[in-house]
Structure 1
Amino acid sequence: MSNNASNVTQGKPAVAGAIAYAPIGTTLPTDAATKLNDAFKQVGYITEDGVVNSQSIETSSTKAWGGDTVLNSKTSATDTWKFAMMESLNPDALKLYYGEENVTGEVDTGMTIKANSLDQVDHVIVIDYLLKNNVLKRVVIPRAQITAKDDVTYKDDSAIVYGVTVSAVPDDDGNTHYEYIKKKGETA
C-alpha cells in the first residue's frame, strides 16, 4: 500500500456539539451518524486544546540469569480522555463537573452549585468529530468516570473553564471505548 494524503485528517468538533453524556444504561449508539437520543446532554464548547485520549500500558519484566529479558507481562492498562468545558453557565456542563445532584436550577431563575466529596456517578460519554472530506467519527465510552479535575481559574481576560480527565472503565465485553467512522451521507 502506498502513501495517501487523503487518509490524513484532523479532529474538528461536530457542529451540533462534540461531547455529550447520559446515564449508565442508556442505549449506546453503534455508528457514527445516528442522532443521539434525548437522554444525552451536551456540554457545549470545549477549549481549543480539544480532546486528548491517552492509552497506556504498564509492564513487568522477568529477567533470566545473565540479565536477558525473557518475559514482559502487562500489569495495567489505562484509557483516559481529557477535555475542558468552556460553557460555565451551561447547567449540563456543570452537572458533569460537579455531579448531577450538586447542580440545581437554571441561570434565569437561579442556580445552586454544591461542591463536596460525594462520589460522582459514572456516565456514558459520546464524542463526535467531523473529519475532513465530510467523514464523521464518533467515540463511545460506555462507562466513564471522572478521575481528575483541573483547577478552575477566574480571571478578567480568560474564559472560566472546567477541565476533567475521564477514565474509561471496561464494559461487560472488556472494551473501554468504541470508535465509529463513516462518510457523511445525505441522510446523516
Structure 2
Amino acid sequence: MGNETKNVSVGKPLATGAIFVAPSGAAVPTDAATPLAEIYKCVGYISEDGVTNAVTTDSEPVKAWGGDTVLNTQTSREETFAFKMIETNKTSLEQAYGSGNVTEEPESGSLSIKHNSKEKSVYVYVMEVILTGNRIKRIVVPVGKVIEMGDVVYKDNEPIGYEITVSAAPDSDGNTAYEYIASAK
C-alpha cells in the first residue's frame, strides 16, 4: 500500500467544543462515536495554538565490560497535554484555579475566584478533533491533573487566557491516554 493523502489531517476542533472535563470517577469514554455523558463540561474556546501532547521518556544505558552499550532501559515516562483556554467561564476557571476556588451566583452568573496553593483535583479529560474524511478523533485522559498554570496576560490586543498543563497519570490498566477514531455522524 502506498501513500494515502486521505489519511493526512490537521487538528481542527469540533464546533460544539473540543475539550471536556468530568470529575474523577465519571464513566470514561471507550470509543469516538458515543456521545459524551452530561457530566462532561466543555472548557470553552481554546487558543489558536490548540493542544500540545508531549511524551517525555528517560533511559539509562547498560554497559558491558569494555564499554559497549548493550541495553537501554527506560527509567521514566511522563505524558502531558497543554492548552490555553480563552473563554472565561466556571469550567475553565475551575481548571485553572481549582474546583473549590470558583463559585458562581446562579441567578446573576457572577463568578468569584480564589487564588491559593490548594491541591488541584483529578479529572477525566476528553479532547475531540475533526480529521480529514469526516472522521473524529477522541483523546481520553482517564486520570488527569493540572500541574502547571501559565501567566494570565491582560492586554488590549489579545484574549485573556488560562494556559494549563495536564499531567496524565496511569489508570488501573497502566495507560495514560487512549485515542479512538471513528466516522463522524
The Cα shift of 1:92 comes to 0.8
The Cα shift of 1:38 comes to 1.1
Distance, in Å, in 1 between the alignment partners of 2:109 and 2:64 is: 69
Taking the TM superposition and a 5 Å limit, the aligned residue runs for 1:39-50 are: 39-50=39-50
Asked if 1:69 corresponds to 2:74, the answer is: no
The Cα shift of 1:109 comes to 4.1
Matched with 2:118 is 118
Matched with 2:167 is 167
**Contact kept? 2:17, 2:45, Cα under 8 Å:** yes
SS in 2 for 1:31: coil
The Cα shift of 1:33 comes to 1.7
Distance, in Å, in 2 between the alignment partners of 1:58 and 1:24 is: 28
User: Under a length normalisation based on structure 1, what TM-score does the superposition of the two structures give?
Assistant: 0.94
Distance, in Å, in 1 between the alignment partners of 2:136 and 2:109 is: 37
Amino acid corresponding to residue 42 of structure 1 in structure 2: C
Unaligned residue ranges in structure 1 (runs of 5+): none
Distance, in Å, in 2 between the alignment partners of 1:138 and 1:148 is: 23
The Cα shift of 1:56 comes to 1.9
Amino acid corresponding to residue 173 of structure 2 in structure 1: D
The Cα shift of 1:27 comes to 0.6
SS in 1 for 2:139: strand
- Of residues 28-37 and 107-116 in structure 1, the stretch that sits farther from structure 2 once superposed is 107-116
Matched with 2:28 is 28
SS in 1 for 2:61: strand
Distance, in Å, in 2 between the alignment partners of 1:64 and 1:30 is: 44
Matched with 2:101 is 102
Matched with 2:152 is 152
The Cα shift of 1:176 comes to 0.4
Equivalences, count: 184
**Contact kept? 1:20, 1:127, Cα under 8 Å:** yes
Distance, in Å, in 2 between the alignment partners of 1:100 and 1:93 is: 10
Identity of aligned residues (%): 47
Distance, in Å, in 1 between the alignment partners of 2:137 and 2:110 is: 37
Matched with 1:83 is 83
SS in 2 for 1:78: strand
**Contact kept? 1:91, 1:106, Cα under 8 Å:** no
**Contact kept? 1:104, 1:111, Cα under 8 Å:** yes
After superposition, the C-alpha distances for 1:65-116 in whole angstroms (9 at most, x for unaligned) are 322101211100011101000002x111101111111000159342110010
**Contact kept? 1:61, 1:71, Cα under 8 Å:** yes
Distance, in Å, in 2 between the alignment partners of 1:180 and 1:123 is: 19
User: Where do 4+ consecutive residues of structure 1 move more than 4 Å?
Assistant: none
Matched with 2:59 is 59
SS in 1 for 2:49: coil
Amino acid corresponding to residue 34 of structure 1 in structure 2: T
The Cα shift of 1:60 comes to 0.5
The Cα shift of 1:125 comes to 0.3
Amino acid corresponding to residue 100 of structure 2 in structure 1: E
User: Under a length normalisation based on structure 2, what TM-score does the superposition of the two structures give?
Assistant: 0.96
Distance, in Å, in 1 between the alignment partners of 2:90 and 2:82 is: 20
Amino acid corresponding to residue 102 of structure 2 in structure 1: V
